[in-house]
Amino acid sequence: MKLASTKIITVCALIFATNSAIATPATSEKHANKANELRHAVFTMLGANMGALGAMAKGKIPFDAKVVEKNSIRINQLSFMIADYTSTDTSAYKVDTTALPDVWTKREAFEKRINDLTIASEKLVKASTSGDESAIKAAIGGVGKTCGGCHDNFREE
């Protein structure tokens, strides 16, 4: 019985992994525009939450541990949404986007970058409760590095 359960779990995990790295094309211009709007909303929220943290890490605004904790949790939650909200390939339609086609054509590499953000944001959440300002700033830098890595390869500047 235990072996059968392990096999079922393994098969389900493989199916999920295979399907998660596949982008599906938008079926109409309306669909592409809606997908683009939702994708943009996720990244806008991500940027809004990261912006304050980056400013704190650079000393541009006062350090606020409560804001760091709240924003780090939000960034982590948003990281789990990115794959879903970028899964619709809108490249066949004229949409106002800075997303490069590689978001969909190099899906596995893109999803690795998303996973890097999830891991870095989990470290930031943990650091945010430590009270160690230097550890928190280092963790903010770790999240920023993952953002930059994705921008370099998957976003038109």
CATH number for the domain spanning 143: value is: 1.20.120.10
Quote the pLDDT of residue 157: 85
Q: Which residues contact 74 (CB under 8 A, 6 or more apart)?
A: 45, 49
In the chain, what percentage of residues exceed pLDDT 70? 87
Total of domains in the chain:
1
Least confident of 11-20, 72-81, 89-98, 141-150: 11-20
- The whole domain housing 99 covers 2-154
16: left (phi over 0), alpha (psi -120 to 50) or beta: alpha
Confidence of residue 10 (pLDDT cuts 50, 70, 90): very low
- Whether the predicted pLDDT of 72 surpasses 90: yes
Q: CB of 143 within 8 A of CB of 75?
A: yes
Confidence of residue 18 (pLDDT cuts 50, 70, 90): very low
Backbone phi, psi, residue 24, to 5°: -110, 135
Quote the pLDDT of residue 8: 58
Quote the pLDDT of residue 16: 47
Which long-range contacts (C-beta less than 8 Å, at least 24 apart) are formed by 103-112?
103/23, 103/154, 104/23, 106/153, 106/154, 107/21, 107/22, 107/23, 108/21, 109/153, 110/86, 110/150, 110/153, 110/154, 111/20, 111/21, 111/83
Q: Which two tokens stand for residue 120?
A: 């870095």
